[in-house]
A = this chain, B = another copy of it.
Amino acid sequence: MADPIGPSIRDVARLAGVSHQTVSRVLNNPAAVAASTRMRVDRAIAQLGYRPNVAARALKTHRSQLVGVLVARNSLFVAQDGLSRLEMTLRDRGMRVLMSGLAGSSRSDARHSVAPLLAQGVDAVVIAANEAGARELAYELAGAYPVVVLTPGVTAEAGLSSAAIDLEAGVKDVVAHLVDRGDRLLRHIAGPPTYTTTAARATAWIHELNHRELPVRPIVNVVNTAQGGYDAARAILDHDVPDAIFCFNDLVAIGAIRALQERGLRVPHDVAVVGVDDMPGADHVLPSLTTLRQPLQDLGEVGATLLLELLAGQPARSALIAPELVVRESSAGTRERGS
């Protein structure tokens, strides 16, 4: 059905009255062909509707023009256009994206997910997953393939570049914002321990609190859902009522806010809440969410750029993208101290 195998390079050659090699040259290095000949060939190509056979080309050249992308299921990077942006940037450079979903969080899960990509003969691999196993896999692969990792805390080495949102810097902004409005007892609801981002974010948080000599008590959440945030917030409230809660992301923040309201605490009057992501709807939810916006589209673009650099033989490097603090209702106003 998809078969009726089209014309080959030799058919074009015959029609244009040149050799097959000349046609190949027109395709790959037009400058090496006389203008008049080139025009004749181009016309023949158009006339026959010729399209090069990628399999034949890959067979001979040992390059597939394929980039394998390992993506976590349910990841915001995918949802928020990040993957699309990566793909479109690569597409413009003649590369195609082979996608593979990642199920679990262990290293063997990750290995299992890349296998088909490698079997397909990809030229390079992009790892867009915060799962710990995926990150380990990246180092494993780095010897054999150009690899780009889109997750924080990955050191660039030969053949392995990395890009991430600089949430360490973002966390600084969050703390500054909360302290400015008069909050002192700050709590953090961290993410699932299997994400590399969880530790990164929690560490930055603790570091910043220590720096400002504020009390520190983080809580690790187990699931990346609103329910997880709800449960974690209740656990916090069983202990005491903080001035503000910084949540792993907006989804978790939504759950936390519900828990607060149920206890009769008003947001932001009694407790301020800050999330991360600026997920769709965060601006209209009640109350709207103060959040660290992650420019995931930029991440996709930077990732593509890093990959193209590696493929061009340039050295591996790390890139950081700054997030943006968007202040909304959930942390609006100023706390009147001395109450």
Interface residues of A (CB under 8 A from B): 1-3, 5, 51-56, 58-59, 62, 64-66, 69, 71, 73-74, 76, 78-81, 83-85, 87-88, 91, 96-101, 103, 116-124, 144-146, 159, 225-227, 229-230, 250-251, 254-255, 257-258, 261, 279-281, 283-286, 288
Contacts of A258 in B (CB 8 A): 284-286, 288
Cβ–Cβ contact B97 & A55, under 8 A: no
- How many copies of this chain does one complex carry? 2
- Could you tell me the dominant secondary structure of chain A's interface residues? mixed
Cβ–Cβ contact B119 & A54, under 8 A: yes
Assess A55 versus B51: contact at CB under 8 Å? Given A88-B103, A254-B284, A284-B227: no
A-B contact pairs, 22 of them (CB 8 A): A1-B145, A1-B159, A2-B123, A51-B118, A53-B121, A54-B121, A56-B59, A65-B120, A69-B99, A78-B78, A78-B83, A79-B79, A83-B99, A83-B101, A87-B99, A88-B101, A96-B116, A226-B284, A227-B284, A229-B284, A258-B288, A279-B280
Q: Which of B65, B225, B285 contacts A254 (CB 8 A)?
A: B285
Q: Which 7 A-B pairs have the closest CB atoms?
A: A79-B79, A84-B101, A226-B284, A55-B58, A55-B59, A73-B84, A254-B281
